[in-house]
Structure 1
Amino acid sequence: MRYGLILFLLMSITVYADTQKLFSEGCELYNQKKYEEALERFGEIESSGDISAELFYNIGNAHFRRGRLGFAIAYYEKAAVLNPSDEDIRQNILFTRSLVKEKQEEVPVIAPLEWWISAAGMLSFSGWMYVLVFLLYPLSLLLILRYFYGKGGVVHLSAVIAILVMMFLAANLAYTRSDWIDTVKHGVIVQTSVTVLSSPAEDGNQVFKTVEGVKVRVEDTVEEWVRVKMADGRSGWIKKEQIMVI
């Protein structure tokens, strides 16, 4: 058992070292403006499953330098899923979105609901769980003081209520993050121009056209076809190779 644990630790260290080596090589190649070679290194890491916001951010940068706006936005969005509070990622998403040729008008959302969803997106689901765990400490301390030392009063009660309210809000924000944001699939158009069809078939009627970089909601998949919904409510079918799912 002990030798097995040692072997596991040695293998983990080796994998980590290989990942770091590939990442360093990718960054160095990027700085040398060898973007395709950098993407090869980053791609090896992604294929291994050792993903991170930093990795996706750098892949997005390399695609942007190669003029692939759709892939750049998609990888920035993937990075934001893992680290929604990173300001550099947010700024890159805003900047690259501003370059998209098609400007969409989103279906209006009730202001309080829009604010709530935006707040939930500030942290990942695990991030909100950390907030809950963090709040447990002062709550436990206050309850222990109350139980063993009989210290209480209005101030003590107010503090307990305040912490419970914050825990309630954090729990609901975590639920929103998980149920409204993380479970809904999105994708980004990665081809210059895409014709959206009424059905998952080559002879389907042309409903409308969209362009590279547009973010869509993925609603269904049938073989090599994907049903997408635009921010303004329009929907239809496109080929899998025309979209990168986030």
Structure 2
Amino acid sequence: MKRILLSLVLTLMCSIALPAKDLKATADSLYAARQYQKASQLYEQLLDKGDNANVYYNLGNAYYRMHDIARAILNYERAANREPGDSDIRFNLTLARSKTIDKIESNEDFFIVYWFRSFLNTFNTDQWGRIAVFSFVLSLIGLLAYFFVRRLSIRKIGFGIAVAMFFLTIVSNIFAYLQRCQYLDNTHAIVMQTSKIRSTPAESGTVIFSLHEGTKVKIIDNTMRHWVQIRLADGKTGWMPQKDMEMI
């Protein structure tokens, strides 16, 4: 009885225009009450008000609870693009991917590439930017110590700090730029329903393989009406109907 009353109260609140903070609290309460469908609707409304990694993450959780793996992965991917270093997002994304039918192994990620991407995704664009600013300030302090302190040992330490922090400033700026490019990359999509991949952009084309819900694809050609050419992580390519996917 209490759960029914709680559901009625929360449903009434959903019908009223609420500030973002209250809307988030209501959505979280619905999620806690296992009203995942209603919670997902409120999370969608929140995203209409502004982009937020945490809301995408919660929306992904709601869809996962509803066994909609494709939409769960879609929203986890969107959350990961905005907060690439968040371990909870990465864990849930990996968990959701394990539920998909298509098991596609990448043939491009050598160890050094995998390590580099993992390190790059430790922080988002803003965090790399803050590291760059902080390291630049430290490099200036090191230079001041080198030029204005008389003691030789401190001057050596100051010079070493200046060089190291200046190098870190350059690296952090490069990583911030790469993270920004990764965030703005709109060439990836999630397959939302079982789709037959064809050799040509037409229903008469030969079916070369099929993809199922939740598989991530890279779009390499979207110039054809209603069709897009895609490439998988293992290098396979083909044409699929645009309606069968949703952009990350």
Does the alignment reach a TM-score above 0.5? yes
1:171-190 equivalences in 2 (<5 Å) = 171-179=173-181, 182-183=184-185, 185-190=187-192
Counterpart-to-counterpart distance in 1, 2:124 and 2:160: 29
Structure 1 residues 74-83 or 120-129, which shifts more? 120-129
Q: Which letter maps to 1:156?
A: G
Partner residue, 1:87: 87
Partner residue, 1:14: none
Partner residue, 2:161: 159
Q: Which letter maps to 1:82?
A: R
Partner residue, 2:19: 18
State the Cα distance separating 1:198 from its structure 2 match: 2.0
> Cα gap change, 1:27/1:212 in structure 2, threshold over 3 Å: closer, same or farther?
same
State the Cα distance separating 1:179 from its structure 2 match: 4.1
State the Cα distance separating 1:150 from its structure 2 match: 4.6
CA contact (8 A) 2:198 2:240 kept: yes
Q: Which letter maps to 1:119?
A: F
1:118-129 equivalences in 2 (<5 Å) = 118-129=118-129
State the Cα distance separating 1:223 from its structure 2 match: 3.2
> Cα gap change, 1:241/1:21 in structure 2, threshold over 3 Å: closer, same or farther?
farther
CA contact (8 A) 2:147 2:155 kept: no
Give yes or no for the alignment of 1:96 onto 2:77. Answer: no
The normalised TM-score by structure 2 is: 0.84
Q: Which letter maps to 2:138?
A: P
Partner residue, 1:63: 63
State the Cα distance separating 1:242 from its structure 2 match: 1.5
Counterpart-to-counterpart distance in 2, 1:201 and 1:46: 35
Partner residue, 1:35: 36
State the Cα distance separating 1:146 from its structure 2 match: 3.2
State the Cα distance separating 1:133 from its structure 2 match: 0.7
Q: Which letter maps to 2:202?
A: A
Mind listing any 5+ residue stretches in structure 2 that lack a counterpart?
1-17
Mind listing any 5+ residue stretches in structure 1 that lack a counterpart?
1-16
> Cα gap change, 1:184/1:120 in structure 2, threshold over 3 Å: closer, same or farther?
farther
Structure 1 residues 55-64 or 123-132, which shifts more? 123-132
> Cα gap change, 1:158/1:147 in structure 2, threshold over 3 Å: closer, same or farther?
closer
Percent of aligned pairs with the same amino acid = 26
State the Cα distance separating 1:180 from its structure 2 match: 5.7
Counterpart-to-counterpart distance in 2, 1:182 and 1:114: 20
Q: Which letter maps to 1:205?
A: T
1:191-230 equivalences in 2 (<5 Å) = 191=193, 193-221=194-222, 222-230=224-232
Q: Deviations over 1:111-140 (max 9, x none)?
A: 323321221122222221111011112112
Partner residue, 2:12: none
> Cα gap change, 1:74/1:133 in structure 2, threshold over 3 Å: closer, same or farther?
same
Counterpart-to-counterpart distance in 2, 1:211 and 1:41: 27
Moved over 6 A (4+): none
SS in 1 for 2:19: helix
Counterpart-to-counterpart distance in 2, 1:100 and 1:225: 23
CA contact (8 A) 1:105 1:231 kept: yes
CA contact (8 A) 1:186 1:217 kept: yes
The normalised TM-score by structure 1 is: 0.84
Partner residue, 2:9: none
Q: Deviations over 1:22-67 (max 9, x none)?
A: 212211112222222112111112223x121110011101111111
SS in 2 for 1:113: helix
- How many matched pairs? 229
State the Cα distance separating 1:148 from its structure 2 match: 3.9
CA contact (8 A) 1:53 1:79 kept: yes
